């Protein structure tokens, strides 16, 4: 594959170069000197070439729930989305709360992963929040510790977990949710609205725990990362904590940046946790992206079966897929509209997550034709999950190639 006049991210900036992918390697030239034979290689013009993306928050469901997703299908979806590194969350069966349980997942990764795949260890046994996991026994083989999908309800337990994680040189990665604040309806534009059929995950259930954890992280000196923030209060609290020198980073997801609760439909593909929030929250997240409060964008890729997502907004399982739509959505909705620079998007999707999580594996490359426009069709996904709120949305950005460790882990067979 030959890429003429490509815009390439190198040395922390974009530059114009030609590139050729041949024999597993992507070679660059500062001038138009690459020999071209249109009869033997497809030629593409004006593409964007990035270091491979890194997603620190995905669910691959293996072991325990392989009917939803496997390591093989999940990493295929990631490669198709331009990712060369992912971190997999621990809500599995068995939960990786001991070295023995973690090994089941490590074996699947070693056997089937196409790209760099780093597991989390759970913070507590069974992610039940009652007893610390065997953190010492897992620390060398996990990227960090998290009970993702559940907030740690006890302040004393979170203090103990932070102290142990700090001693091991590991980060605590928190899904922040105060169960005592959950109600049986959905907060729509600030009003209790049971008719939406969405579990009542109010804003304070998120930012209240963030406020508690920031205080603990400051007290203990633990490295702390907040998952999928969705509220304006969360942004403000983290901004203030960073100004005080707290060792904290955070992520948000593409759907919180481009959608709000007024986009909700009574379909399972709109059910996620945290839920879509008010437009004022979305705007605060944009501000947090622009001023550096939010460090990275993660997808929270959470596949389920068709049956589990076809029960309407009220009864469907929480979670949507996102690996294969993240870049096209962000590029189309934020970069093409002038809200976000391409340089900042590279930082959010590739550079910052690797830096914060200490990921040193080969970033490789991903090549995108951003002039191709199409409608998102879940039937084309490599993921076993098909549930996305972006079905039918018109976007720009087709991945042509993802290269990791000198191999094409994804290659689009379309012709120029």
Q: Which residues are catalytic?
A: 300
Which residues are CB-contacts of 5 (< 8 A; sequence separation ≥ 6)? 16, 18, 32, 45, 46
Distance in angstroms (rounded) separating the CA atoms of residues 80 and 76:
6
How many Cα atoms are found within 13 Å in the side-chain-facing hemisphere of 220? 25
Is residue 43 classed as helix, strand or coil in its secondary structure? strand
Rounded to 10°, the helix 232-243/203-220 angle is: 10
Which residues are CB-contacts of 312 (< 8 A; sequence separation ≥ 6)? 197, 266, 267, 268
Report CA Rg, the chain.
21
Distance in angstroms (rounded) separating the CA atoms of residues 147 and 145:
7
Distance in angstroms (rounded) separating the CA atoms of residues 49 and 38:
21
How is residue 40 annotated by DSSP? Answer: T
Q: Which two tokens stand for residue 81?
A: 């989305």
Which element (helix H / strand E) includes 135?
Answer: helix 135-138
Neighbours of 262 (CB within 10 A): 11
Distance in angstroms (rounded) separating the CA atoms of residues 27 and 34:
9
Does residue 231 contact residue 281 with C-beta atoms inside 8 Å? yes
């Amino acid at each position: 594959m030959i890429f003429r006049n490509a815009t390439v991210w190198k040395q922390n900036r974009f530059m114009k170069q030609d590139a050729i992918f041949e024999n597993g390697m992507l070679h660059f030239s500062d001038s138009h000197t690459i020999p071209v034979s249109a009869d033997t290689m497809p030629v593409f013009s004006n593409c964007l070439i990035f270091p491979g993306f890194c997603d620190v928050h995905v669910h691959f469901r293996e072991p325990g729930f392989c009917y939803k997703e496997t390591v093989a299908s999940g990493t295929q979806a990631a490669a198709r989305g331009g990712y060369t590194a992912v971190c997999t969350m621990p809500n599995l069966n068995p939960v990786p709360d001991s070295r023995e349980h973690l090994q089941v997942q490590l074996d699947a990764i070693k056997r089937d992963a196409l790209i760099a795949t780093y597991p989390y260890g759970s913070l507590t046994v069974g992610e039940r929040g009652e007893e610390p996991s065997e953190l010492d026994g897992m620390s060398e083989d996990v990227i960090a510790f998290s009970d993702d999908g559940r907030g740690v309800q006890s302040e004393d337990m979170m203090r103990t977990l932070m102290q142990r994680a700090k001693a091991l040189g590991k980060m605590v990665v928190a899904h922040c949710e105060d169960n005592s604040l959950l109600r049986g309806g959905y907060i729509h534009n600030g009003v209790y609205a049971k008719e939406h059929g969405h579990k009542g995950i109010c804003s304070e259930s998120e930012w209240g725990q963030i406020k508690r954890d920031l205080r603990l992280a400051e007290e203990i000196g633990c490295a702390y990362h907040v998952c999928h923030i969705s509220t304006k209060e969360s942004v403000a609290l983290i901004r203030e904590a960073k100004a005080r020198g707290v060792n904290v980073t955070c992520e948000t997801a593409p759907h919180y940046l481009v959608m709000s609760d007024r986009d909700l439909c009574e379909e399972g593909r709109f059910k996620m946790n945290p839920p879509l929030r008010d437009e004022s929250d979305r705007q605060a997240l944009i501000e947090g992206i622009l001023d550096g409060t939010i460090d990275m964008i993660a997808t929270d890729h959470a596949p389920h079966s068709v049956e589990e997502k076809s029960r309407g907004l009220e009864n469907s399982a929480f979670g949507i897929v996102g690996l294969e739509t993240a870049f096209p959505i962000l590029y189309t909705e934020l970069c093409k509209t002038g809200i976000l620079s391409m340089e900042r998007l590279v930082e959010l999707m590739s550079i910052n997550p690797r830096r914060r999580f200490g990921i040193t594996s080969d970033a490789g490359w991903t090549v995108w034709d951003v002039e191709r426009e199409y409608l998102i069709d879940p039937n084309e996904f490599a993921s076993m999950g098909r549930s996305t709120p972006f079905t039918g949305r018109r976007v720009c950005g087709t991945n042509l190639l993802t290269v990791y460790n000198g191999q094409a882990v994804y290659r689009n067979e379309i012709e120029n």
